[in-house]
Structure 1
Amino acid sequence: MEQEELEQNSSEEPSFFQKTWWMLIGGIFIGLLSAGVILLICRPPQGAAIILRPAPTTVPIAVHITGAVAEPGVYNLPVNSRVEDVIKKAGGTTANADINAVNMAAILEDGMQVNIPLKINAIVVYSDRSIPGYEVEEEETEENGEKQTSTSTVSYPININTATQAELETLPGIGPVTAQKIIEYRQENAFQIIEDIQKVSGIGPATFEKLKDFITVGN
């Protein structure tokens, strides 16, 4: 009798294989349930697009400026710079530049070339010292406040110790910014020889070669 009860109880207990199987099924079920909950919580709202944006860049752009500027050449500028910015980099426009023909607000692009045109009928001075003169327009204000335009002729070579801003701007490679620097420099230190003009910021050997035949110090 006792033997029969023992055999009956042992047959009702699950085997080791059955226990392992049920534990495996239970683990898989719990894992799938947990994964479903995580996906439900973390998924983006339906209809919301994921946009990949390029990383911002700080690499400067290179722009080539030519024409009626003090220092034509290639300059590096920040992205989204405008034509006005590269003109400033080049030392400003010359006295005979037609700035009304240029869109100063245009945005520059890498590799772009910007040309600053000359005014119609402008006289361009290069390296011929025999040129008789260069006509310069200057504005004078009368006592009643009205402005009257007068025209004067510049004869070369000009005295860089006494030349006006307008006269200095007629020199090759010299724009408004550099002309003002020349005036500021000579107020503190008079030019003793023409080579002294290279002491002015923005005037190097290349620019000096362009203008040396057109200047004097009056000695």
Structure 2
Amino acid sequence: MAVVLIGAAVLAATHFSSARPEAVRAPDRVTEAAAVRAGGTGAPSARIPGPTPGPDTGPRTGTESEPRGQIVVDVSGKVRRPGIQHLPSGSRVADALRAAGGVRAGADLTSLNRARVLTDGEQVAVDVPGALPPAVGTGTGGSVAGPAGPATTVSLGTATVEQLETLPGVGPVLAQHIVDYRTEHGGYRSVDELREVNGIGDRRFADLRPLVRP
């Protein structure tokens, strides 16, 4: 009987001890990065794709224009370094004068259009007596600084004998007659007064009329 009672007590104690709740440690949290390093098989978290780089279509800040062309002009007359000058396309008469070292003292530039755009192969003659003006509208030829230059007319009221000699058909004698008439009559009030100068007939007057002004 005593052995039976002891065995029953042991069974009862074992039953009650197995029925008691036991504290269980919570499992460690495994992050996505740790799972990747450990080669885990867990489902990866969703990732938001970034923008895909495309071709650069924005404005470029660098200068990529092709180099400008060049023109060649001949600068002669009263400049410090006369001769052939190589200039960028679109250069003007003033640029040619600077490339030639500038004009010399005493050069007459009052009637020179220094803002005119140059063309390839032309000549810029600075204050050269007797230089012929280019054909009108060609854009090439001589460009004479002074009253006898292209796109300008000779002033009958201020021109010297040398400047008048640059006109077609006007020699030293006729040029002096033009100056003498100006002195005697106090200048020219109109171009038509050239008809009254000794040595100028109708044909010569017709040639000179578009080239002079009072």
Q: Which has the higher contact order (CA 8 A, sep 6+)?
A: 1
Instruction: Specify the TM-score bucket, using the shorter chain as the normaliser.
Output: 0.3 to 0.5
Higher helix share: 1
Higher strand share: 1
Larger radius of gyration: 2
Q: What's the TM-score, normalizing by structure 2?
A: 0.33
